[in-house]
Structures are given as structure tokens and as C-alpha cells.
Amino acid sequence: MNQVKFTHPETGKTLYGQVAYTGHLSKEEQPEEGFVLVDDAVLPTCYEVPEEVLTEIPFEMGTYDPKTHEWEGQDEYHTYIKNEFKKARERSDALGDEFKPGKLFNTPVADGRAYYVVTKVNKKTCDIEWRGFCPDRWTDSVLGLGGRFPRERIEQLVRSMDGLKRLFAGPNR
């Protein structure tokens, strides 16, 4: 089992994630018998979930359409991530050039990108949080899963991304 979904017991919302590798965890850190750890598909959150409530989502790669620059026919898990990315990008774009919570940016990592969203802006610092929009779930070696960083540095990354979007604006950026 890798890609899974389950219903959150309190909110009733369907959550998507990947079963986490636990081989490196100590005996005390291992989940209870009958439970597994599931990394949220998009957020830097891990859930301890009863194994019987998980529904496996079979992997379906789909096909890439070079005209739209989109993958079509992917499985439910990847479609969910793609839709969450579109929502995050729309929220970020709606802020225009304002540096506010909700701005989305990314950094190049290996053969992909590490995605982050600004969650809080202060005078000299800002908080950011990682998002799992890259299929390889890359994290930046400095930014990790997010945290508090100098505002000037993060604002520079966001402005660079906004500039590149304007420069290379296409049908699906």
C-alpha cells in the first residue's frame, strides 16, 4: 500500500496521503498495532490511522498533453494534488504583487521543485510551510518543511517566482 485515502473521524473530510516508511523509527516511535503512519498528500502532517479505514488508490500515470502542459487521466491521488495546487496558485495569483500569507513559491531541488506557501508575515520575519505539490515530495535543504525565516530572503524568492511567471506566462504556467 502506498497511495491511500481515508475519512477523518472528526471532520468527515476525505484525506489523501502516502503510507510512511517506518523502518528507521525506534520501537517507541512505531505506530500502535493495527495502525499505520500516513503522510498527508499536500500538508507537512502525518496521521496515525487504523489500517482498516484506509482505501488504497492504484497508481495510474495518465498521459502528458504537450498542448495544455497537463497530465490527463491520472489516478485520484494525483488528481487531488493537482487540484490543490491549482487552488493554491489561484489564491497566490489573486494577491498580485502583495507579499502576504497565501503567496506560493518554489525552489529548484534535484530534478524537481520544493513548494512553499507564506503563512504569516511580520516586519522582519515571515513563516512559510512546505506543500507536497511535486510528485517526488522534495524539500529545500535550507527551508525544510518550513518555519520562520528572514522576510527579506523569502520575499526575494516570492518576487523572483512572480517575475518568472510574468516572463513565461503561458496557458498553465
- Are both 152 and 85 inside the same structural domain? yes
In this structure, is residue 62 part of a structural domain? no
Task: Tell me which of 124 and 72 has the higher pLDDT.
Answer: 124
- Are both 92 and 142 inside the same structural domain? yes
Q: What is the predicted pLDDT for the residue at 133?
A: 96
What is the tens place of the pLDDT at every residue in 149-164? 999 999 999 998 877 7
Does residue 6 register a pLDDT over 80? yes
Domain coverage including residue 44: 3-56
What is the tens place of the pLDDT at every residue in 86-117? 999 999 999 998 999 999 999 999 999 999 99
- Are both 89 and 47 inside the same structural domain? no
- Are both 49 and 98 inside the same structural domain? no
In this structure, is residue 48 part of a structural domain? yes
What is the tens place of the pLDDT at every residue in 113-171? 999 999 999 999 999 999 999 989 999 999 999 999 999 999 999 998 877 776 677 55
- Are both 96 and 160 inside the same structural domain? yes
- Are both 87 and 42 inside the same structural domain? no
- Are both 105 and 158 inside the same structural domain? yes
What is the tens place of the pLDDT at every residue in 22-54? 888 888 889 989 999 999 999 999 999 999 999
- Are both 38 and 89 inside the same structural domain? no
Q: Number of folded domains in the chain? A: 2
- Are both 41 and 90 inside the same structural domain? no
Confidence band (pLDDT; 50, 70, 90) for 19?
very high
- Are both 51 and 117 inside the same structural domain? no
- Are both 51 and 88 inside the same structural domain? no
Q: What is the predicted pLDDT for the residue at 173?
A: 45
- Are both 159 and 93 inside the same structural domain? yes
- Residues 108, 104: Cα–Cα separation, whole Å: 14
Q: What is the CATH number of the domain that holds 18?
A: 2.30.30
